[in-house]
């Protein structure tokens, strides 16, 4: 089955046509509602620019946060419209609603090369409804904004693992194409899934084992080594009989971790030391401890220096690396050394010829927050959950619907 590309659409001609684009603008904001990491916005620019240059009347659809189907100013896309205007060098209007009167008026008033951003699609509960008829009704209203001869471009890789109205149902109603970003993401991940050069090393971090169980099982069978850090490592350590004190722990997953350790043994690479802290906070008292040396009532918030050395030793030999999830609470400087050390080891492996993929989410945010060279990795994904599900072998509804 083939997926039509953005280039196919441009070859057909977009001048004067309304093109609905599903982008991923779910960017982090601080308390002042300023964007703290514009990575996803920057990744969306090539598709938008190509459509603008082709004379399309571009209507962007996206979500921000989890407004739970209600209009909430806190989740307005206003900061995104401002950032897009600056990045594109042209005014990007923000509709005052999603499919209401203002959206229609603005869509009807677009000239060739204009860009309109609809308000947060998740302000409408039908966007994420499990009821296909409800989603379909919302999709019909979104499609109506494109008038006749409209088209749909899927360019929000971070949402293609969801069968949601603006991702899935709109694609069923209009001629559909994969945007530059989605196309690139799939091509890169295919390379990792179908034919990774070996040794193939996977680095997994993040908070919960339960979120990554499927991917651990799927990748442990395929990878040569699976490095485990972050909050999820404490459940594995507890499965080995280590008292992790007040560190993040999913007791209900201990037996499953024991099973994984028994099945995959040497393939799983775990920490050998930790950085313990009195509490969860940037200024918490902290010290490097052995695995069984976390003081009573303390918690671990990062992997220790010997662990970084151990992980780096494994990564040194790698020819393919997939990394998803930080090694510790990288947002606090005192607990960022594990994530930085592993990221630098991946950059070094890449410089020595390895193919490296940063699997989106917090890992991508960490690369930027820690001031690491993004060019040091072969690819930084924009979709954490989507890239994990793809690697796990799951079908992504937002990709499947593009096949024609």
Contact criterion met (CB below 8 Å) for 128 and 69: yes
Annotation-wise, does 40 bind a ligand? Answer: yes
Place of tokens 């919302």: 138
Annotation-wise, does 120 bind a ligand? Answer: no
- The active-site residue, picked from 22, 40, 57, 337, is 40
Annotation-wise, does 42 bind a ligand? Answer: no
Q: Residue 289: which of 236, 338, 314, 277 has the closest Cα?
A: 277
Annotation-wise, does 259 bind a ligand? Answer: no
Annotation-wise, does 66 bind a ligand? Answer: yes
- What does each C-alpha distance from 373 to 332, 345, 387 come to in angstroms? 20, 12, 21
- Is beta strand 200-204 parallel, antiparallel or unpaired with respect to 151-154? unpaired
- The active-site residue, picked from 184, 191, 208, 306, is 208
Euclidean distance between CA atoms 69 and 277, whole angstroms: 39
Annotation-wise, does 24 bind a ligand? Answer: yes
The conformational region for residue 353 under phi > 0 = left, psi -120 to 50 = alpha, else beta, is: left
Long-range pairs, 345-348, Cβ under 8 A, ≥24: 345/308, 345/311, 345/312, 345/315, 345/316, 346/203, 346/315, 346/321, 346/376, 346/377, 347/372, 347/373, 347/376, 347/377, 348/312, 348/315, 348/316
Annotation-wise, does 363 bind a ligand? Answer: yes
Annotation-wise, does 361 bind a ligand? Answer: yes
- The active-site residue, picked from 150, 205, 328, 385, is 385
- The active-site residue, picked from 229, 230, 328, 361, is 361
Annotation-wise, does 362 bind a ligand? Answer: yes
- Ranges of beta strands (E only) in 186-242 are 200-204, 225-228
Euclidean distance between CA atoms 15 and 21, whole angstroms: 15
Angle formed by the axes of helices 39-53 and 78-88, to 10°?
Answer: 60
Annotation-wise, does 198 bind a ligand? Answer: no
Question: Would you give the distance in Å from CA 106 to the centre of its chain?
Answer: 31
Annotation-wise, does 353 bind a ligand? Answer: no
For residue 328, which phi and psi values (nearest 5 degrees)?
-160, -165
Annotation-wise, does 122 bind a ligand? Answer: yes
Euclidean distance between CA atoms 255 and 238, whole angstroms: 10
Place of tokens 């594109």: 88
Annotation-wise, does 69 bind a ligand? Answer: no
Annotation-wise, does 135 bind a ligand? Answer: no
Annotation-wise, does 169 bind a ligand? Answer: no
**Is-catalytic flag, 287?**
no
**Is-catalytic flag, 40?**
yes
Euclidean distance between CA atoms 129 and 116, whole angstroms: 25
Annotation-wise, does 340 bind a ligand? Answer: no
**Is-catalytic flag, 385?**
yes
Which residues line the annotated binding site for (2R)-3-phosphoglycerate?
40, 122, 162
Which residues line the annotated binding site for ATP?
212, 331, 360-363
Which residues line the annotated binding site?
24-26, 40, 63-66, 122, 162, 212, 331, 360-363
Which residues are the active-site residues?
40, 208, 361, 385
Which residues line the annotated binding site for substrate?
24-26, 40, 63-66, 122, 162
């Amino acid at each position: 089955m083939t997926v039509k590309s953005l280039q196919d659409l441009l070859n057909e001609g977009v001048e004067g046509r309304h093109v609905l684009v599903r982008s991923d603008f779910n960017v982090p904001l601080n308390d002042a509602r300023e964007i703290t990491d514009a990575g996803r916005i920057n990744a969306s620019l090539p598709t938008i620019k190509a459509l603008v240059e082709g004379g399309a009347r571009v209507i962007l659809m996206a979500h921000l946060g989890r407004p739970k189907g209600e209009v909430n100013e806190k989740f307005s896309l206003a900061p995104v419209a401002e950032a897009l205007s600056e990045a594109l060098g042209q005014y990007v209007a923000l509709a005052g609603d999603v499919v209401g009167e203002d959206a229609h008026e603005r869509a009807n008033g677009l000239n060739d090369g204009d860009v309109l951003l609809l308000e947060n699609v998740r302000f409408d509960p039908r966007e994420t409804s499990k009821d296909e008829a409800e989603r379909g009704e919302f999709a019909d209203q979104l499609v109506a904004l494109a008038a006749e001869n409209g088209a749909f471009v899927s360019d929000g890789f971070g949402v293609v693992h969801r069968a949601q109205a603006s991702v899935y149902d709109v694609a069923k109603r209009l001629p559909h194409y994969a945007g530059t970003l989605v196309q690139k993401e799939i091509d890169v991940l295919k390379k990792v899934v179908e034919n990774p050069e070996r040794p193939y090393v996977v680095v997994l971090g993040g908070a919960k084992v339960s979120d990554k169980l499927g991917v651990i099982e799927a990748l442990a069978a395929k990878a040569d080594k699976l490095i485990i850090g972050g909050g999820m490592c404490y459940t594995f350590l507890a499965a080995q009989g280590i008292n992790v004190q007040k560190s993040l722990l999913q007791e209900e997953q201990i037996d499953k971790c024991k099973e994984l350790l028994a099945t995959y043994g040497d393939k799983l690479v775990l920490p050998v030391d930790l950085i313990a802290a009195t509490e969860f906070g940037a200024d918490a008292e902290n010290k490097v401890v052995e695995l069984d040396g976390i003081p009573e009532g303390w918690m671990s918030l990062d992997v220790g220096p010997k662990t970084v050395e151990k992980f780096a030793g494994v990564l040194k030999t790698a020819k393919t690396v997939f990394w998803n999830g930080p090694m510790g609470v990288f947002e606090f400087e005192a607990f960022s050394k594990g994530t930085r050390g592993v990221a630098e080891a991946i950059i070094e492996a890449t410089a020595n010829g390895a193919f490296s993929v940063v699997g989106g989410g917090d890992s991508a945010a960490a690369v930027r927050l820690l001031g690491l060279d993004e060019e040091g990795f072969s690819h930084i994904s924009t979709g954490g959950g989507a890239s994990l599900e793809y690697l796990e072998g799951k079908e992504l509804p937002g990709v499947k619907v593009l096949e024609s």
